[in-house]
Each structure stands twice: as structure tokens, then as C-alpha cells.
Structure 1
Amino acid sequence: MELMTDQRFRKTIKYLRALFFLCFILACIMTLFIIGIIMYAKILGPPPLSVPQSTLYYDDNGTVIGESNNGQKRYWVNFNDISPHLVDATLAIEDRNYYEHHGFDYKRIAGAALADIKAMAKVQGASTISQQYARNLYLEHDKTWQRKLHEAFYTIRLEMNYTKEQILEGYLNTIYYGHGAYGAQAASQFYFGKDASELTLAEASMLAGIPKGPSIYSPLASLEKAKERQGVILSAMQGNHLIDEKAAQKAKQEELEIVGKHPHTQLVTAPYFQDAVHQELTDVLKLDERTIELGGLKVYTTLDLDQQKIAEETIAKQISEDSDIQIGFVAMNPKNGYVKAMVGGRDYEESPYNRVTQAERQPGSTIKPLLYYAALEQGFTPASTMRSELTTFKFDDGRAEYTPHNFNNKYAEEDLTMTQALALSDNVYAVKTHLFLGEETLVETAKRFGITSDMAKVPSLALGTSGVRVIEMANAYSMFANGGKKVTPVMIKKVENHKGEVIYEHDPEPEAALRSDLAFVMTHMMTGMFDKKLNGYASVTGSNIINDMTRTYAGKSGSTNTDSWMIGYSPQLVSAVWTGYDDSRPIEGRLDQMYAKNVWIQFMEEALEGTPEKSFKAPKGTVGVYLDPENGKLATKECPVRRYTYFAAGTEPTEYCTEHLLEHEEGAPKGKKNKHHEEHEDRVPWYKRVMPWS
């Protein structure tokens, strides 16, 4: 019996010895591991206190036009510029032993662990201010072991390389106080309308309670819960001997005036444009939201501040204040697609919805130049004629009918040339052309012009019944203005990261999308809306703004029951205007119908004032001749109206007008020059033949 006891004792000693050595080895490993972490942290040096930086936006000349904050208002202030009351209140509720530990409060960790075990759930946190700051700076807020290990390591690095005051300053400048306010300064201004240095004990104790749950303890969310949380903090401050009972009671009873408003809320410079740039950073450059808003980027845009100001002032001047009609306006450089000005609505604060880039509205007759360009490619010419009369088109073996109508139900009741049909905006001519080409032709042509909005293959598409975006139409007309080169709307020229490295630069390769000769022919046809020589059964559609013009423009207006458009250009500038109501109610009254044209002409005139007057230059492969605009035949001296018209070489008319010849010349052979035509050509000065608009 005694022998067995001795053996058991020796066996126990053996196990204890093994356990001791095992613990010793584990302790050594842990010590070496901790030393290794500390040495590694020392080698890495201080982690950067890289507080998220605002992204800056510049105009075309390098002037700052905006600063992003992603709804996060943050204004960094020095530690000495933060009220001591807020510092004490924050330490009392968040980390009472802050100045005593080195990043980790082990007693608090143990207490939190016991509380969690008892409740069988996570009910108490133990993160110190250093840990919270590390998490705010470098990590996401996901609850994983990997994140917690990274947090611990960053906390060690912070504590090893920065003073307690530096860490606390950083924490107070980065913590979230709700309602988009990050940091003590932004929070003080939002809640109390004062700087962080001016906070009273009552204000500071309430503010310090918000970060635990901004949606719960914000006085704007629940004043009752905010006061309860304030009381807890004041009691903690009293328990830490930071204030006495009298001060705590006084602070509890003090009535606070909550402002609830950020001091800088209005986007002053081109807010719709800045929103569109932000969207382009996301969609085109594929940058994430955090990088865009807080990555310290420098975004160099295409905006022209002078043109933007002209656009905004013109809209304010032209549209009646008591009207609730809306507007979408954009101006572009047709050579490169640079967006120079953008107004997406009457009032950004009232409605940030961008009617230039987001709204799809019926373009009406502004779609016709695209249709007629397709027709030119299919053999039509500016002199091609069709009869303008009330016409009912039948489909599906007579089971379906469509009857397009002209404005005021006026018709020529005779043949019109394509040039005159465009100038007068004849709908019958457009639908006939559309159906002749095939309903899919206009859809495919629109895609070539950069229009991505869906279009229905229906007869009425020729009259612009499928919605498009304003910026798409401006871009399409830019291709006419630049001679057929492919462009896309560009709002960002270059982007640099926080190190000054270029991460994006717009540098497109020139690419022909249209035939240059036909693009020019189409441009010349579009000058017709401002040429009274093309008046017929109705006046040309631009007749009411001709007197405001001081240079050559090409363009097209368009209207539906709910939409009014004007798009036009000079060789160096394109602008597009849409007006209408957001709820798509009918546009009534002559004034409302004229807003688009009036805004367009006033903008173009002011934006181009002081710049050289440029004419559209005819490219190789085009031929200009004088026509009788009513019948599309070569004009003679006897024709009362003659208009110089361009054609693709080889498609110009060869038949002369005989309707106005003198009696003794009525038998002049068709298709040949007569002496009067030759005399007429001789009398035309050379500069008129080279530049017929001179």
C-alpha cells in the first residue's frame, strides 16, 4: 500500500514537472512573440496619421470649384482649440484610465469579458481611445478576429510613436457625432453653432454622449435619451473628480439651444456639374466612394466658370420667377466634347435631380437632323422633294393607322425640299423619310451619334417620341459641328491622387464617325432655321430669334406637348436647352414655349462675345450652288429667291428652274446653263462664292 502511494506521488511530480516546463516554454514563446511584435512595430516606425482628405475639384483654368466631404463635415482643430470640458467628458465616459495604460486597459478587458460571459452575449466593450482611433484610421468596423488583431497591432504602433495628447487630438477630430459631423469642431458647429473651444460643460457633456449611438443619443433624434446620456457622463466626471456635484447639477438643468445645421451647406459653383463629375468618377474611372470623397484627389474638370455664370444668369433672367417650369442646359466644345457649362434645374437645393444627365424626355423635332443625315447617306439630297399634305399612313394590312400633324395643322399642299422641310419643321416630310428608310435606320443612326437611350421602332420616332437625355443630344450635334468626328461628353480632363500622381487623363484618339462632307451638308441645312429665304407655308422656326443673332449658327428646335427644345452651335460651341415640367404636364402659353430658344440665343451670344466670328468651312467633296429654295432646282437670275446650298459632290442638281423665266426664254432647255445664269454667276463676287454667308 505504501509502495503504491509512493509511485502515485512520483507520477504526480512527473506530470507537474512536465506541466511546468510546458508552461515555461509557452511563456518563452509568448515573450519572444511579444518582443518580436514590438521589434517589428519599431522597425515599421510611426503609422501615418492619414486622416481622410477632401477631394478638390478644379475648373478648366485651375480654379477650385468644389471640395468633397461625402456628407462628412470635418474641420481639424488643434488639441488646445478643443474645450477642456469636452476632453474631460470624453475621457470620463470612453477611457477613464487613458493616461495610465499603454493602449490596452487589461482590467477593463477582463471586466468586459466577465460581463459578456455572464450575459452569454457581448454586452460591454473594452476598447480604449487608442484602439478606437486605430480602427477609425486604418480599419473597417467589421467584427472579425483578423480585424481585432490588426487593430491591436496598430494600437501598439500608435502608442509607441505618438504622445497621448497627439492620439487624443486625432481621436477627437475623427470620431463621428452624427448628422454628417465628424470631429469635435464640425459637431460643435452643427449642434450648437459655435467652435469646439467655446463649448460649455453642459454642451460638452451632451456632445460626448453622442458617439456611442448617434441615431439614438443625438438631441435631434431624441432629446430625452440625449439628456439621460448627458446625466451618465456628468456622473462619471463627478466620480473621477473632474467636476463637483454643484457643477454637475447646474449642467443637467441648463437649457441648451440646438441649432442642427451645418454652417456650409450650399454648393455655390455648378452643383449639378459637380454631381455629374462625381458620377463619372464612379462609372468611368471605377473609383470607390471612399477614395472619391476622402482620398485627397485633385480632379481637373472641363468647366468654364465664365460660361457657367452666363448660363445661370441667362436662365434666371429669361424664365419667369413665378413659373415652376424646369430646365436642362448644357454647353460643350464640339472639337473635344468638353462640357463647359451645365445647369440641371432651376434650384439645386430644391431639387438636385439633374435634368441634363438623368432625365429622358421626348426630343421632338430636334431628332430630325439625325434622320436627315441617314437620308443623305441613302442618296437623298438637300433638294430632294416630297409632298407636304395631311397624310394617313396605314400598317399591318390596313389594321393600324398613323396620321402625323404639322404645327397648327398647316401644310404646304405641294412639294417641299428637304432643306425647307427642316427649316419649317415639316412633320409629314420627316415621317415619309423615316418610313422610306425603314424604321430601324433612325435607331441605328442615333446609336452612331452616341445616343444610348432606348428608342422605339415606330413611325412617330421621326418626330422625337422616344425619350433621350439632353447631354446625348448636345453630343450628337457636336458631331455635326466638328465635321463628323466621334466625341463623347467629357467632364474630367485629369485626376491626380494624394501624392500628385496622375491616375487618369483623357486622351482620346481622333476617330471619324460620320462622312465629313455629309456632316457639313447637314450643318448648312440647319442654318436654314434662321434664314427667311426658306419661309414657305409657315415661317422658319428660328424667325423669332433671328434679330438677336450676330453670327452664323446652325441648329434645330423641337417641341412636343410636354417638352420644348433648342439645340444649336457655332464652330466652337454647342449648347442644348430643354424646358418642361417634371410631372410631364402640357406646356401651355407662348412664353413657356419660347423659353428654350430665348435661353439658347442669349447664352450663345454672350458666351461667344469677344471671340472671333467663325464660319463653317466646306470640306473637300462638297459643292455649293444657288437654288430656288421652293423647288430645289438651280436658280436663275429670274428666280425671286436664291439660296446658296451645299451638296456632296456629284449629288448637286443639274436642272434649272424655269418657273420664273421671261416669256421669250420659257423654252430654254432644262438641265443646261442659260445666259442669264452665266451672267448671274459673273456678277457674284469671288468672296461670296467662297464664303456665301459673308
Structure 2
Amino acid sequence: MRFDMRIRKRKNVITRWSVRIAALFPILLLLCVAILLLSAKIAGPMDIPASRPAVIYDNSGKFIGKWDTTNRQWVSSDNMAPSIKLATLAIEDRRFFHHHGFDFQRIAQSAFVDMRSLSKAQGASTITMQYAKNLFLSNDKTWLRKFSEMFYTVRLEMNESKKEILEGYLNTIYYGHGAYGVEAAAHVYFNKRAENLSLAQSSMLAGIPNGPSLYSPFLNYDLAKKRQKVVLNTMVKSGYLTKKRAEIAYHSPLQLVRTDKKEAEIAPYFQDVVRHELTERLHISQKELATGGLKVYTTLDNETQETAEFWIKHTIPDSSKIQTALVALDPKTGGVVAMVGGRDYQSSSYNRAVSAKRAPGSAFKPFLYYAALRNGFTPATRLKSAPTAFTFDNGHSDYAPNNFGGYYADKPITMAQALALSDNIFAVKTHLAIGMQHLVQAARQAGISSALAPIPSLALGSKPVSVLELTRGYATFANEGARVHPALITRVTDHAGRTLYEWAPKKKQVLNRQTSYVLSQMMTGIFDKRLNGYTRVTGSPVAGLLTHKVAAKTGSTSADSWMAGFTPDLVASVWVGYDKGETISTYPDTGYAKTIWSHFMESALEGTPKNAFKPPKGVVSVSIDPKSGLRAGKGCTGRPTYFVKGTEPTAYCGQSKAEKAIKKKKKPRSMFDRLFHWWK
């Protein structure tokens, strides 16, 4: 009985305190609201942050550009078409004139919908809340940011009129393609002023801020039209339009005129990638980049960049429609020192150096021959170059590649010569002999991240890669097997000089040092006429342009032409072709990549040692007869060839059988025998 009474007393106490707390909660809530309102009133009107765009510098600290704020123009609400204001109110905040910053009815509806769908399907942000966030807040999802948003929203509502808030919102919202505000958006999309927008154009623009990259009519026209229809239907529901006017507006021509081309600037393609890195990889908000006074230091070498642009401009005729891309980086750090994504940024801002992926052709063979060197092959290994039909996949599939021009040696050639002549038969034979997975593995280790497949044609570069990707892969060979990650930004500081980000270059040894060096020396053979055979070495047309020792490889498909190569100090790749995959048929088109690359490398390496390659321990140089693959003997032409120590040939070309037998005899072991042998 006593126990039951105790339980009842306890329950009564809990009930009394629950009632007291429940009674106090509204009072506390009202007190918090009162403090919030009082603080907002005392704080007074807010100053709109000044535009202090981030400034971008090259590797010497020279100014090269800034965060794009050119498309930011403030106009009075009176100088905006009524249709853009009504369309924006309908789709973003139709109760804008009936709340004081927070639409509690919309919040409740949104919460109900979200609970039913078990997801955050609907938002409840008002125009005032969005304006406050655009002006003063970052994208951090913290309670402090949420409280700040509430504070700034109340402060705006208490100190600004509804007309001023709507005007501010329409002047700061982002519409894509660098356009901040409705005036800039009207110019970018329609080449007209905001006051002259039609209902069709206004309803299109009003739908873009919800997802600028998703609803831009330049990028996704069909999605943009669907979004426009949603805006028009919402205007009808809000009582701003009749259904008939909405239908007419939807079917009216938009008269799109793209005017978002930027003024000529230093390394524009490079700067585009830097801007993308700042927002996507470093997660710096666009607001901070536009107003925070940040300083961005990069890896760009302005002189090297100018050299790249010069040789592209002076190699390809203005009348040609062919496109090109170039990437050069420092293999020791991975820093990108030059980048060209196309012939004319004003005509096309599409960056072919990083965004396009094209088949590299024979420029992919170095990855194959590295794998071969690690699996029993040497530069002197010989295989027959002749038309061959290969059977694979347990006899279920056939593959019959051809050599360029239909030329074949019709006899065995060395791997060193096969690489220099770019013999396709030798490459596929090697690929199948060592196991096709070894090429995939070697390419992956070197830094190729695009989709690859263990198929015979992979030996001939059938799978597409980007120019930046191939350059990174070659940098691993230049580094004697140490892989780096391409980088463009070295440091970011805020307006007070505090470091927000600092680059720390890293290397990872992923390939064998000795084998990588042997491969690099094999790649110098494309310029050596001593390796000429049934055809000339692929670098012969430009060999006379080079005074530095460089390792390189050419590549071609029916639609692409490549040249890539390196020294221990610089690696560069050049691609030339047509955006739509048109066939490259004329000689000038096929020779552009070689010419650009050779001139660029020679100019960029000016003042550096003519031969920067230094063999690591475990590598030996042997004079080899290019035809037989044996050591050069009497009557044989010798060419210095590098081998991993212990894999070099021991037999000499031009030796008789008796001489070879003598060579195989063991040398005398005792000191007396050695002395006698020496004396004799």
C-alpha cells in the first residue's frame, strides 16, 4: 500500500513539473523572440558586402585573373519587367507580402509533405531568408548558421521595405553562366535589359536559380522548358495569369542569344579549372570567392603558357576547323605549368584538355612495353612483324590489326625498334604473350583512371583518355616510377593573409625505377634514324627541331593525332582532332601534334641541360645491333641501349660458332691460371 502511494506521489510530482515546464515554454519562446526582435532593431539596417573578388596569381606571384564578377549589375525594381517579379514571387514565395520573413503556413505544409515522403522533398525558405543567406552566410549546415539566418532575416524585415528586399534578392540571385542578378541574366540569355523581358523569357529565368546548371536552357533545354511550365502554372495558381496567357507564353519563342563569353585573359582554360577546383574540391563558397578578398596562388608558369599558345597559333592555320589541347606539368611535383583547352576560348570555352576523352592510339604503347619489361621482355626481344590474325577469348574471337600504311618487316624486329616504328603487330603479340591484364594494371598504377578493358585493341590505345590523364601517366615514367597528382592551386589566403589552403606535393613509388628508366630510353628511339627499318621512326619529321634528349611517343587514330613525351623536368601532351570525330585525312592535320609538341618542348626547355636523364643503380648501357638485338660486334652497327642489369644480351652479332663457344667457356678460377691466361 505504502509502495503504491509512493508511486502516486512520484507521478504527481512529475505531472506538476511537466505542467509548469509546459506553461513556461511559451513564455521562454516569446522571450527568445522578443530578444531576437530587439537585437535586430538595435542592429539597424545592414550594409551590403562590397564586391572583393578572389584574385588569381601564377607561380611567380603575377596577377592573371580574378573570380568572375563582370556579370553583376544592380538595377532598380522599377527598371525590371513586372513579369519577372511576378514569376519570381510565384515560384519562390507567393505569400511574400503576407509574412514577416518566415512563412509559418508554408513551413507546416513543407514539414507535412516531408514526413509523408520521409525525405526533404520541399523547402520553406522565403525570399527574405534566401536574400540573407546570399549576402551574409556560408553554405555550412550548422545550428549557428541557421540561427544567423533567422537573425539576418528578421533584421532585413525590420529595417527594409518589401520592395527593397525583393529588389535586393533579384539583384543578387545566381542565374548561371556567371550571371548574378536579373539584369545580368537578361543580358546573358537574351541580350536585352531586364525591363524589356517578355513573359516567356521571365518565366524561363525565374525557374533557373533553383538549379542553374540543371535548368539553363543553354545546357538542358528540355529540362528548362519543363521548369518554365512549372513556373507558369504556379503563376496561374497565384492568380497572376490566366491559363490561356500561360499557354501562349509557354509556346512563345524565347529568342535565346548566348552572350556569356568572357574577355580574353591569361590562360583562360587553366583559370576555368582553377575556379572549378576552388568550389568543388576546396569547397569555398561562391559568395566568399566573390566578396571575401581571397588570394589564389597557382602552379601556372606564364612564360611556358605563352610558349604553348604561340606554337598552337603559329602551327594550325586560322582557316582550319581542327581543334587541339595541350597540358604540360612538372613531373617532380605534379604542378600544371601550362594548359590549353582549345584554339580560341572566345569561340569555345569547352576545355578539351580535361573534359574531352579521346582514343590515344599508339601513345598508349609505353604502358604496354613497361608491362612487357616487367614480364620477361627486354629492348632486344624480337618478334616477327607480319600480317597476323589473332585468336583470343578461348578461340571465340578474332582480331586482325594492321600496321600504318600497310607496311611490315616480314621478319623479326626488336622491341626497341617496334616502339620506334610503332609496329602494331609486335604490340598485340606482346600484349597477348604477357597476359592482357598486365597492361591494364600498369596503366592504372601509372595514373590512368578512365575505363580500360583487357582486350587486344587496348595495346593500340582503343580506350579513350583525357590529355591531362595521359600527361600524368607519362609523368610517372619521367619520375622513374613515382606517381604524382596533377595540381593547379598551391595556396589560398583570406583578406587578412591567413592561409586557408596550402598544397603539399606528394609522390608515391608505384612502378619499378630501373624498368621505368629503361622504358624512357626506349622512348627516345622515335627520333633515332639508326632504328629505321621497313619504315622510318615516327619522330623523324620533327627530330631536327630538337636539341634536347627527350622521351616521347606519337599516336594516331582515324580521328585523333597525339604526341606526348618528357624529360625528368617537363612532361607534355598534345592532342589534335575534330570535336565531332571527323576523319583526319590530310598530312598537315596528322602532323600538327608533332610540330606543336616539338617546338613547345624545345622552347620550354631552353637553358636546361641537353640531357637530364641519369640512369639509376641497377641499369646498364650496352651497344646493341638494332637489327639482330645482339651486342654490336665486328661489322655490326652499335646503338647504346639500356637494360635492367642482368637482362642484357651476352652474344655478339657477327660472331662465328667457334667464337660463341669460346665465350661460353668458364674463365680460369685460380690466380695462376688467370695470370697465365693474361700473359698468353
**TM-score with structure 2 length normalisation?**
0.70
Aligned to 2:498: 501
Q: Find the aligned partners of 1:542 and 1:339 in 2 and give their Cα distance.
A: 25
Q: 1:298 to 1:214 in 2, by over 3 A?
A: farther
Which one is further off, 506-515 or 480-489? 506-515
Secondary structure in structure 1 of the residue aligned to 2:443? helix
Give the 5 Å matches for 1:469-618. 469-618=466-615
Instruction: Mark the structure with the bigger radius of gyration.
Output: 1
Contact 2:490 2:503 in 1 (8 A): yes
Going from structure 1 to structure 2, the CA distance change for 1:284 and 1:667 (only over 3 Å counts) comes to same
Contact map agreement 2:73 2:183 (CA 8 A) in 1: yes
Native 8 Å contact 2:513 2:616 kept in 1: yes
Whether 2:337 is the aligned partner of 1:331: answer no
In 1: Cα distance, 2:158 partner to 2:426 partner: 81
Q: Deviations over 1:400-457 (max 9, x none)?
A: 3222211122111221111111111111111111001111111111100110111122
Residue correspondence of structure 1 range 85-124 to structure 2 within 5 A? none
Q: Tell me which moved more, 328-337 or 352-361.
A: 352-361
Match of residue 656 from structure 1: 652
Q: Distance in 2 between matches of 1:669 and 1:634?
A: 12
**1:423–1:541 CA contact under 8 A, matched in 2:** yes
Higher mean C-alpha displacement, 297-306 vs 259-268: 259-268
Structure 2 distance, partners of 1:469, 1:129, is 42
**CA spacing shift, 1:386–1:58, aligned 2, 3 Å:** same
Structure 2 gap ranges (5+): 1-23, 86-96, 106-125, 208-254, 666-680
Change (3 A) 1:668 1:262: closer
Rounded to whole Å, the distance in 1 between the matches of 2:306 and 2:287 is 31
Once the 2 structures are TM-superposed, how far is the Cα of residue 347 of structure 1 from its aligned partner?
Answer: 2.2
Counterpart of 1:154 in structure 2 is 152
CA contact (8 A) 1:386 1:429 kept: yes
Superposed, 1:76-225 pairs within 5 Å as 134=132, 137-138=135-136, 153-154=151-152, 157=155, 174=172, 182=180, 215=205
Q: Which residue does the alignment assign to 1:307?
A: 304
Mapping for residues 144-543 of structure 1, pairs under 5 Å: 153-154=151-152, 157=155, 174=172, 182=180, 215=205, 265-287=262-284, 290-291=287-288, 296-396=293-393, 398-543=395-540
State the secondary structure of the residue aligned to 1:568: strand
8 Å contact kept, 1:623–1:648: yes
CA distance 1:610–1:211, shift in 2 (3 Å): same
Give the C-alpha shift of residue 172 in structure 1.
Answer: 9.8
- State whether residues 51 and 137 of structure 1, in contact with CA within 8 Å, keep that contact through their aligned partners in structure 2: no
Structure 1 residues 310 and 656: CA distance shift in structure 2, 3 A: same
Partner amino acid, structure 2, of 1:465: S
Letter in 2 for 1:451: I
Match of 2:640 in 1: 644
Q: Is the 8 A contact 1:176 1:211 kept in 2?
A: no
Where 2:263 maps in the other structure, the secondary structure is coil
Q: Aligned partners of 1:44 and 1:343: how far apart in 2?
A: 50
Cα RMSD for the two superposed structures: 4.9
Instruction: Provide the C-alpha distance between the structure 1 equivalents of 2:426 and 2:662, rounded to a whole number of angstroms.
Output: 26
Superposition pairs of residues 8-19 of structure 1, within 5 angstroms: none
- Displacement of 1:352: 2.2
- In 2, distance between residues paired with 1:169 and 1:204? 12
- Between 490-499 and 565-574, the greater mean CA deviation after superposition: 490-499
Shift of 1:496: 2.7
Shift of 1:543: 0.8
Residues 178, 214 of structure 1: 8 Å contact kept: no
Whole-Å Cα distance in 2 between the matches of residues 204 and 473 of structure 1?
46
Shift of 1:129: 12
Question: Partner of 2:71 in structure 1?
Answer: 73
CA distance in structure 1 between the partners assigned to 2:269 and 2:420 by the alignment: 33
Q: Distance in 2 between matches of 1:366 and 1:477?
A: 10
Q: Which moved more, 1:390-399 or 1:486-495?
A: 390-399
**Structure 1 93/498 Cα, relative in aligned 2: closer, same or farther at 3 Å?**
farther
Give the counterpart letter for 1:501 in structure 2. R
1:441 is matched by which residue type in structure 2?
Answer: H
2:41 aligned with 1:50: no
Q: Note closer, same or farther for the CA distance 1:411–1:152 as it changes in structure 2 (3 Å cut).
A: closer
Which segment drifts farther, 266-275 or 527-536? 266-275
Q: Which runs of 5+ in 1 are unaligned?
A: 1-24, 77-81, 96-107, 117-127, 195-202, 218-257, 660-664, 675-694
1:4-31, CA deviations, whole angstroms, 9 ceiling, x for partnerless residues? xxxxxxxxxxxxxxxxxxxxx9999999
Distance 1:521 1:26 in 2: 78
- 1:357-394: CA deviation from partner (whole Å, max 9, x where unpaired): 12221111111111111111112111111111112212
CA contact (8 A) 1:178 1:215 kept: no
Measure the CA separation in 2 of the matches of 1:443 and 1:58: 38
Measured after TM superposition, the shift of residue 213 of structure 1 is: 7.5
TM-superposition CA deviations, 1:10-56 (whole Å, max 9, x none): xxxxxxxxxxxxxxx99999997676345544787986643564232
**In the TM superposition, what is the alpha-carbon distance from 1:495 to its structure 2 partner?**
2.3
Q: Which residue of 1 aligns with 2:35?
A: 36
Query: Using the alignment, how far apart are the partners of 2:428 and 2:133 within structure 1?
Result: 65
Whole-angstrom distance in 2 between the partners of 1:597 and 1:300:
32
Distance 1:623 1:26 in 2: 84
Q: What amino acid does structure 2 have at the position aligned with 1:649?
A: K
Q: Point out the more displaced range, 525-534 or 293-302.
A: 293-302
CA shift, 1:671, in A, is 7.6
| Deviations 1:310-345, CA, capped at 9 Å, x for gaps | 111211111122221111211111111111111112
Alpha-carbon deviation of 1:557?
A: 0.5
CA distance, structure 2, for counterparts of residue 341 and residue 172 of structure 1 = 39
- Which deviates further from its counterpart, 294-303 or 555-564? 294-303
What per-residue deviation string (whole Å, max 9, x for no partner) do you get for residues 634-683 of structure 1? 112432x2111111111111111126xxxxx7742358399xxxxxxxxx
Residue in structure 1 matched with residue 120 of structure 2 by the alignment: none
Contact 1:484 1:514 in 2 (8 A): yes
Shift of 1:517: 0.9
Which amino acid in 1 is paired with 2:638? R
SS where residue 484 of structure 2 aligns? coil
Matched to 1:646, the amino acid is Y
Distance 1:64 1:590 in 2: 40
